Chain A
């Protein structure tokens, strides 16, 4: 039987081409992902192992969970550790944010990683963590050293003045040295500024204290023994571990990061492969149909059902094996390409070899072969059911109508279940998301099962249009498209799955974008919003600096605070009374915002209802520092996307906060937004590179940009599934043309010219593609609506926006996909030798 399978594969090389391509792409995606993440995690692990190589014991201090203070590790402790047996050196570090300005005042380096630290020279005057390529380390206040990349980006040389912002105002320093380092953040594209130790301590912690201490051992000393000796000396809120343990910790964290990246990429690979299943099933169904007589003959001469089924499965296995091997090769190339691609986007990855382990290879083979065999399972079973008499009959009519009835009933039931679950989930709201997820699965499966049934009426709707626009070619195309509902269904399903996801995401993304847009335009009256570029709070000094600026007419911070009411945590925003209503739109329902100035609080409607608060009520509260007090409700306002549930005067909460956290400052200027005003604000803030001044457009772009980027990444990842769906359309059309050779020959003979034969095939492809797209768009929009219902609670301004423009583009693209996919089949149909076609039996 195996030999028959092999012969069949060889005999149908061209027929199997699309199947091989589809499996290959899926496998390449899977193995590429695995190899890429393996390579990354290997490189990062190596790096972390290297950076802990010389560390005997590492000590970290952390923030006290009760009072939010960081005690740090005093110099005294370091001195004592240094005297222990076996200790060669002790180095203390403090770290924090430090943004470097380029000569234009812009921040250098990736925003998420602008770090400052201390230069800690040993007895020899060198800091082993940093290799200076130029100059030397900073030794007094006013000096800094920069990592090589950052210095190069700012075109700074030793001796130059460099503006650096830490958490406070910006300051000018003299560059004394340029260095290279193994630090992971730096090699990933972050910037690193070194200060002298005492300045760094003042900036980031407190004089004479460190956050991290590294202990190196003298030759021959035992790390564990040093650890045991160190432990009793440590103050509270600190922890010591051996270098090996630290390296392991970091490796574990890298593993965690990688595995989530892995899972995301693999889930998209899974979608692509799922789509591929339809294509494979189509191909094998056709191969079996073509060989009905051969298979019946084999049955007649004594092959059992099982043997026939197995021979089809063996054939699928062979195809899967071949495709997997090629796909794996492609995956290796993909992984290599991804890594260089990341470097091109300034996302530096530590150097290291491409790691090709056994797992990706086994996964590639297993996935490729199993998926192909799974998809061929039904056609294989159908092959086994061919009766031996079919060898004698010229036509073997399969009992399709009967099985379609069963299929349709199952499909309708599953679809109904899915739709019901989705509707229920949407009604529940936030907690309904998982129910919607389950419902989406059932709805998708149900629709896929139902698609052959749907194809007839849906395509019948457009048939008059086709006839009017394209005449005979359109009429024949419309009818051909529904001739084999199963095949049309499977082909359309592949496209429908991709488009369901794409449309669902688009509906959500666009609706969310619109809600955010509305939030900014409706709720923010301020001309400018000031935030730190790197995230984190804005320093209080900025508030005072802005207050002094003559261009500023009103300003209010958004200072986050929490307090407790009984056992509930309430998130509050500290604002400046009198100014806040000039920079934010607050829709007061009851009471007056004037009450804020009297130390009262304003509450949004939802919280007021939930807590049963009325204007005038006095609420006992516990502040962040544990002190008790009471606040009177002075106003109730409509909740919005920008405002939190409670507003109070900053003066009320600041005394209770150890480190007041200002997430942003809203500013209204004299004369409204203008270049001059923007410049005045930047100047007032001391041209600080770490602070960004955003106008309304910037705010919208920032909020919308994240959504758009998410959408684009999703589109990119789903492109693979769509590509495979396109291969499916090519495959189906090629099959149709092959099966209808005689018919096409007859049509040519009685006068259908070549252009119209081509048009007929093309239109069939367009009809199938657009049909799949319409199903996908419909289901996707429904899902988008349902998930949107669950977001409403978190994003009060959320309203469903149907992105007609984009949906239109999707449908047009689907039509184009049809035209493109039909190119080759249409050409071969037009080129068909009429006489052979007519004569052929």
Chain B
């Protein structure tokens, strides 16, 4: 069924984790969140990270996105090695090369939708590319809501603003942490659709953590994590396929 392996389709690696480990605590309270994980995220690819809670899926994303430190191994965004970077350089890297969409608290309540979208560029002191900005705003369908403040927008609209913000600065890679976790299914589908379109039409790279098989089915590839290790990978996933795979975890979880 898989005719074109992802590795062949994408020529370059947007982000890469190699032998990545993350350990919390010491002695008896020691918890291994990530256990020598190696994974590539290719340019122009939409990847979903799945796994039962406590599997380390969020930790993997946080470490690769430069939000969290790690205990061993290495992480690269494009050509940049994250390990040796200080907070200041990491902050700049996130600002210039990475876009984020969180489950909640994506927007500043004091800023209008447009101001929220251009915030990363404001921080960097760059002028946004007008044409690109217009395209992104059109795509997420917010042209008539730009002057509104977050409190005047619905939850779905707010998340669409967040998507636009992540896309507006043309980052090398966008990370989403349960971006549809707080949305009803229709709004969620819209947001996921925009993310998929950005990959298809704009060549964006997207990595998204989710626990929703339907959300994962929008991706090109799904990585399954359990106990801090990558245990499986699925290309061109369907919601049913992902659900079945997830049920296996549950079954194994109960028997082990």
Contacts and interface: CB of A to CB of B under 8 A. Distances in A.
A637 B27 CA distance: 97
B1 to A, nearest CB: 37
Interface string A742-776: 11011111111110100000000000000000000
Contact of B105 (A475, A479, A483, A838): A838
A476 interface: yes
Contacts of A14: none
A832 to B, nearest CB: 12
Contacts of A471: 122, 125
Contacts of B67: 749, 834-835
A652 B62 CA distance: 100
Contacts of B108: 476, 743, 746-747
Contacts of B94: 749-751
Contact of B100 (A472, A742, A750, A753): A750
A221 to B, nearest CB: 88
A742 B105 contact: yes
Contacts of A753: 87-88, 91-92
A602 to B, nearest CB: 71
Contacts of A752: 91, 95, 123
A400 to B, nearest CB: 13
A645 interface: no
A480 interface: yes
B124 A480 contact: no
Nearest to A753: B91
B96 interface: yes
A372 B127 CA distance: 51
A749 to B, nearest CB: 5
A830 to B, nearest CB: 10
B110 A751 contact: no
Listed residue (A742, A743, A756, A838) with the most chain B CB atoms within 10 angstroms of its CB: A838
Contact of B110 (A483, A745, A841): A483
A479 B99 CA distance: 24
A592 B119 CA distance: 81
Given A472-B123, A834-B67, A746 B106 contact: yes
Q: Is the interface of A mostly helix, strand, loop or mixed?
A: helix
Interface residues of B, number: 28
Nearest to A754: B87
B153 interface: no
Q: Classify chain A: how many residues form its interface, as a range.
A: 20 to 34
Contacts of A745: 105
Contacts of A749: 67, 94, 100, 102
B181 to A, nearest CB: 11
Contact of B91 (A472, A475, A751, A841): A751
Nearest to A475: B122
A467 to B, nearest CB: 9
Contacts of B122: 471-472, 475
Contacts of A838: 102, 105, 177
A676 to B, nearest CB: 70
Contacts of A476: 108, 110
Interface in A716-758: 742-743, 745-754, 756
B85 interface: no
Contact of A750 (B87, B111, B123): B123
A189 B110 CA distance: 64
B110 A479 contact: yes
Contact of B123 (A479, A480, A742, A756): A756
Contacts of B68: 835
Nearest to A478: B110
B111 A479 contact: yes
B156 interface: no
B120 interface: yes
A483 B110 CA distance: 7
Contact of A743 (B88, B105, B123, B177): B105
Interface in B50-103: 62, 67-68, 87-88, 91-92, 94-96, 99-100, 102
Given A471-B125, A476-B108, A835 B88 contact: no
Nearest to B108: A743
A756 to B, nearest CB: 7
Nearest to B115: A475
Given A835-B68, A838-B105, A472 B119 contact: yes
Contacts of B91: 748, 751-754
Contacts of B111: 479
A515 to B, nearest CB: 49
A746 B120 CA distance: 11
A56 to B, nearest CB: 82
Interface in A466-503: 471-472, 475-476, 479-480, 483
Given A751-B120, A752-B91, 19 more contacts: A472-B123, A476-B108, A479-B110, A483-B110, A742-B105, A743-B108, A746-B100, A746-B102, A746-B105, A749-B102, A750-B94, A750-B95, A750-B165, A751-B94, A752-B123, A753-B88, A754-B91, A834-B67, A835-B62
16 contacts: A472-B122, A479-B111, A483-B109, A742-B104, A743-B105, A743-B109, A746-B105, A747-B108, A749-B100, A750-B95, A750-B100, A750-B165, A751-B95, A751-B124, A752-B95, A838-B177
Interface of A: 471-472, 475-476, 479-480, 483, 742-743, 745-754, 756, 834-835, 838, 841
Nearest 5 CB-CB pairings of A with B:
A751-B95, A479-B110, A742-B105, A753-B91, A472-B122
